[in-house]
Amino acid sequence: MPAYRYQVRSGNGQTTVGVLNAQSVAAAADSLRRQGAQVLSIAPVPSSDNRAALLERLRELNSGKPNQKHVLDFTTQLAVMVRAGIGIRTALEGIAEQTTHYKFKQIILGLKYDVESGKQFSEALARHPKLFNPLYVNMVRASEMSGSFGKMLDRIAAYTSQQIETRKMVIGAMIYPGVIATMAVGVTVFLLTFVLPKFTGVFEGKEDALPWATTFLMGLSEFVRSQYLIILGSLLAVFIGFFALLKTDPGSWWFDKCKLTIPVFKRMFRALYISRSLQTMGELINAGVPMLDTIAITGDISGNRLYKRMWRAVYSSVKQGRKITFQLQQSALMPHAVVQMIGAGEESGKLGEVLDEISDYYAKQLRDAIKAVTGMIEPLMIVAMGSIVGFIAMAIILPIFKMSQIVQ
């Protein structure tokens, strides 16, 4: 009889881990529930003499963490099954059987066990906040109350898909200049450490006749070759220190502020945060989520501390009975035209539709900004790299040309 490793929570909240024998996963779960325990997870224990089971276990350990792409696939499949009239428990079991990612499969089975134990699906999702954010959970909770579960899952899938694509575009725009800059540094280091030293013997004894550029580069080349360990250690320390700084509260505030002030990138990030905030807010309002909860979730998902602070101020203002636009007018983070449109949406009772239209506009602005950033950085990087290589080539060729004239 197969063995299953389980994790359960007893009535007093104590978590217990153990192994039991059962005919199937379902039978093991039923046995544990009859004992009054809440099943958190169940996984088969691989047999030590079964090579295939051991290989499967290795694949499980190497599967990595589930990401938003897994969440999108899960949501899309679940929406299709629910619209087809399949029950939530049967749908979750079917999706789990088709899921190849081990850890995500266990999460889906955990959702199924929670639903079987009498929990609402939104309550089960809330136990996994790293995968299912507050927007996801609250939209599902609203659909459970309104009875539009299938349609809401479609909207969540569309929202998740758009956010994934937006994230890819922004990351791509940030990676591109980094790759070009790395290539420029690599070429410069190669010329200083491998090419320039070849000419040291040619220039030896003629230091007084060398141009300042050649003298400077020869000294820089010597320094790089003799102190490369110190240079590498210093660069590594700066790299580690920078990321350690970003993990602190002052550092993260500073970095979020820099995103909105750096000339080349500020338009892109501004469009990103406005589009994300207003799309999130529109989706929640259209789903029927209460306004205060909507504003709080919008701030948490905005992605920037300055925008999060702005939405918290809006939350406090709305809680005191004021309109959304009252506090937004006090902030420079939201364009005046956007505030006016939000106000018109409040007055007409069509705030959700207005927010959808504004977020679509800023999504287009974001795509245009990303194209502008990449289009601007490419020639700048090419000019910078060409200038560096040209300077080094001039510093090498000019003294050789002078010496050839003296010999003649």
* Residue with more model confidence, 174 or 216: 216
* pLDDT per residue as tens digits for the range 64-121: 788 889 999 999 999 888 888 888 888 898 888 888 888 888 889 889 888 888 888 9
DSSP E strands in 33-183: the ranges are 38-44
Q: What percent of the chain has pLDDT over 90?
A: 18
Task: Provide mean pLDDT across the span 172-195.
Answer: 80
Q: Specify whether the CB–CB gap between 359 and 166 falls below 8 A.
A: no
Nearest Cα neighbor of 172 from 365, 306, 361, 366 is: 366
Region 238-248: mean pLDDT is: 91
CA distances (Å), origin 288, targets 26, 83, 123, 139: 36, 20, 17, 8
- 25 Cβ neighbours under 8 A, 6+ residues apart: 4, 42, 44, 109
Spatial strand order in the sheet of 3-9: 15-21, 3-9, 38-44
Region 272-289 average pLDDT: 89
As a 3-state breakdown, the chain gives helix, strand, coil percent values, each rounded to 5, of 75, 5, 20
Question: What's the mean pLDDT when you consider all of the chain?
Answer: 83
Q: Which of 50-59, 333-342, 352-361, 364-373 has the lowest mean pLDDT?
A: 50-59
* Residue 57 pLDDT exceeds 60: no
Gap between the Cα atoms of 319 and 311, Å rounded: 12
**What's the CA gap between 343 and 324, in Å, rounded?**
8
Q: Tokens standing for 281? A: 């807010």
Report the candidate in 115, 142, 143, 139 with the shortest Cα–Cα distance to residue 127.
115
Which of the four pLDDT bands, split at 50, 70 and 90, describes residue 49?
A: very low
Chain-centroid distance of CA 326 in Å reads: 32
Q: Answer yes or no: is pLDDT of 10 > 80.
A: no
3.30.70, 3.10.20, 2.60.40, 1.10.10: CATH of 1-62: 3.10.20
Closest C-alpha among 35, 11, 33 to residue 113: 33
Q: Which amino acid is at 177?
A: P
Give residue limits of the domains in the chain. Answer: 1-62, 64-129, 133-408
**For residue 240, what pLDDT is reported?**
94
Q: Which of 212, 260, 125 is nearest to 395 (CA)?
A: 212
Position 244 confidence tier, pLDDT thresholds 50, 70, 90: very high
pLDDT in tens, 190-211: 888 887 887 777 776 666 677 7
Q: List, in order, residues 6 or more apart from 67 with CB less than 8 Å away.
A: none
Pull the structure tokens for residue 323. Answer: 């309109």
Retrieve residue 147's tokens.
Answer: 């009875």
Radius of gyration (Cα) for the chain, nearest Å? 30
**What pLDDT, on a 0 to 100 scale, did the predictor assign at position 256?**
92
Phi/psi for 215 (5° steps) reads: -60, -45
Q: pTM above the 0.75 mark?
A: no
Q: How far apart are CA 290 and CA 325, in angstroms?
A: 17
Measured CA to CA, the distance from residue 3 to residue 7 in angstroms comes to 13
Q: Which two tokens stand for residue 66?
A: 């589930």
Other CB atoms closer than 10 Å to residue 186's CB: what's the count? 10
Predicted pLDDT of residue 62: 58
Amino acid at 15: T
Cα 7–Cα 13–Cα 17 angle in degrees, nearest 5: 20
| DSSP assigned state of 323 | -
297 pLDDT more than 70: yes
| Domain 133-408 of CATH type 1.20.81.30 | yes
